[in-house]
Amino acid sequence: MKIESSAFKDNEFIPSKYTCDGVNISPPLRINEVPENAKSLVLIVDDPDAPIKTWVHWTIWNIAPMTSEIAEGSYPKGAVEGMTDFGRTGYGGPCPPFGTHRYFFKLNALDSVLNLISSATVKDIEKEMHGHILDKAQLIGLYKRN
């Protein structure tokens, strides 16, 4: 399975458009080679370089497995966006207080659909995914505020 973006390549800098210094919308994503037996996909975007803890920027679950693209500034129809560490649902772009941070776009293919409400946190999602992951892919973007 693969996750890519036309806005940045793996381990390269995320354009400021997709950060708190820009429009703060989600970048376009492409998904390929999803396992045939997948029932849903889960996307978790986080920053392990945040000072206090790994900071959750975006969660989406119950993405249809035939989804090949997540358009800029949107999320797939029928999917659910969860709670971020910004205290709300939806995408929250990179906004590091200092230094260069890494942003992990982690895609999981599951053999099930998650029964969670939109106030679910990443811990709730990870607990529900346990034992149901068929495949994983990730894309890492970097960002440093000027």
pLDDT of residue 146: 75
pLDDT of residue 145: 86
For the chain, the straight-line distance linking the first and the last C-alpha, in angstroms and rounded, comes to 34
CATH number at residue 51: 3.90.280.10
Low-confidence ranges of the chain (pLDDT < 50): none
Domain that includes residue 91, residue range: 2-144
pLDDT of residue 123: 96
Count of domains forming the chain: 1
pLDDT digits (tens, 9 = 90+) for 86-126: 999 999 999 999 999 999 999 999 999 999 999 999 999 99
